[in-house]
Amino acid sequence: MSAFGYVIMVPKMRATLRRGPRLINTRPNQLPERATRELVGRAEALADLDDLYYGDGRRRTRHAIPVVLEIVGLPGVGKSELAVHWARRTKDHFPDGVLYAQLRGHDEPISSGLVLGRFLRGLGVRAADVPVGVAERASLFQRLVAQRRVLIVLDDAATADQLTPFLPAGSRSVVLVTSRTGVTDSARRVVLDVLDSDESVRLLAAYVGAARVEAEPQALRDLAALCGHWPLMLSLAAHCVLRRPGVPASTFVENLRSAIKPVDGRSLMDSAVWVTVDEAYRTLPDRAAALFRRLAILPSKRVSQREAALLAGVDDGDVGVLLNTLVSVSMLQRTADPAVYHLHDLLWSYARAQLDEQEPDQIPVLRRQIRRRPSERTAPTTHQAASESRTDGPGRRRPARPDDLG
Ligand SMILES: Nc1ncnc2c1ncn2[C@@H]1O[C@H](COP(=O)(O)OP(=O)(O)OP(=O)(O)O)[C@@H](O)[C@H]1O
Ligand SMILES: [Mg+2]
């Protein structure tokens, strides 16, 4: 920004902070769309969250302390799925709306300035009135939230510090956190385990159809057990079965079982994960498989549509089909930003091994291509900043500011 621009902007921002910005009347719902048709099981976890929330709800009228609830569990066990489901179910209790942020604690943590920007916009602050500095954003956020009752969902936090800017002091709002290791007061945690055997079969049935389960109940039960009743693996395995309508599920289970061996120092469970991902990878069409393994070039496990096009060697317009194929078989996840996708850590490791094995010569070439486009490498944050601008409506776009970029 030029020095001249700075001189003009700062007094305006100061005035905004003094008076408070004029707000657009809005009730945000920033929850992402989930691909799952139904939430399988989790009745107990939902009831536990209700207990923690309603219990605290009664006390909150006296103390006005924000309630922080947390869902803790292994990678891919279903924390985000549960958080979004509970938030949807409970959102009517929050007349001022629901804010949601994917903090990416286990990847490249997102900057608090960017999240605060999205939250402020959600609360009705116009793009032009969003302060530039992180501290100013935080103070405006605190001021606005103090007068409201919102549900704030902070998905995938890695440390308690990551939460600090978003915890509203003395308000009637509620914060729901998910993390792999637990980052808040342990008294308000719901620890999520893998599904039980019946639930695992129901999850498989949600993908492959009840008829398939009725035809081969034992095979589907065996498959659920081979996947360790682990939701991420179950959804991958279900897609493998679905893609081979003519092959009995029992054949698939036999192949899987014979392939699972504790090799290369990996545990049996690691090996089972590996084989399940391997099976899913081998059923992909060639061009989708090539894109999948090449995603491992990106260290951040976040991929923009443009980066994907570059890696796949196709036009931006054509890469959507390949990305949709990967999403439809659970090998890639959508994020709140429609132009950015997320690759799970476990799948990233597999993709990297495939890339090393199948296209070692391409690795430096692809790396150079990605590096040659420096603006693309900031994709996770610039895309989100761009999508912030997009929601301003026509004529209200603003350029990304320095702290939007991390
Ligand atoms: N109860 C469930 N019913 C149906 N599908 C589920 C359920 N739990 C998880 N899944 C599916 O399993 C996959 C992994 O779930 P999710 O992304 O919620 O895991 P996570 O615990 O948040 O993982 P991470 O630690 O990597 O963020 C997703 O595809 C999700 O749709
Ligand atoms: Mg998650």
User: What does the DSSP assignment read for 85-131?
Assistant: HHHHHHGGG-TT-EEEEE--TTSSPPPHHHHHHHHHHHTTB-GGGS-
Residue 387 has pLDDT above 80, yes or no: no
Structure tokens that stand for 373 in this block: 């486009």
pLDDT, tens digit, 9 for 90 and up, residues 20-62 = 778 888 899 999 876 556 899 999 999 999 988 887 555 544 4
Residue 343 has pLDDT above 50, yes or no: yes
For ligand 1, whether the C-beta of 400 sits within 6 Å is no
Q: Which domains does the chain have, with CATH numbers?
A: 3-193 (3.40.50.300), 197-282 (no CATH), 286-383 (1.10.10.10)
Q: In what order do the strands lie in the sheet with 189-192?
A: 98-102, 151-157, 174-179, 67-73, 189-192
Atom number, ligand 1, closest to the C-alpha of residue 206: 4
CB 270 within 8 A of CB 257: no
Ligand nearest to the CA of 205: 1
Q: Ligand 1 centroid to 160 CA: how many Å?
A: 22
pLDDT of residue 11: 57
Q: What is the pTM of this model?
A: 0.76
- Name the residue of 36, 38, 202 whose CB sits within 8 Å of the most ligand 1 atoms, as the mutation to test its pocket: 36
Atom number, ligand 1, closest to the C-alpha of residue 178: 22
For ligand 1, whether the C-beta of 42 sits within 6 Å is yes
Q: Ligand 1 centroid to 345 CA: how many Å?
A: 13
For ligand 1, whether the C-beta of 229 sits within 6 Å is no
pLDDT, tens digit, 9 for 90 and up, residues 112-129 = 999 999 999 999 999 999
pLDDT band of 394, cuts 50, 70, 90: very low
pLDDT, tens digit, 9 for 90 and up, residues 66-123 = 689 999 998 889 999 999 999 999 999 999 999 999 998 877 788 999 999 999 999 9
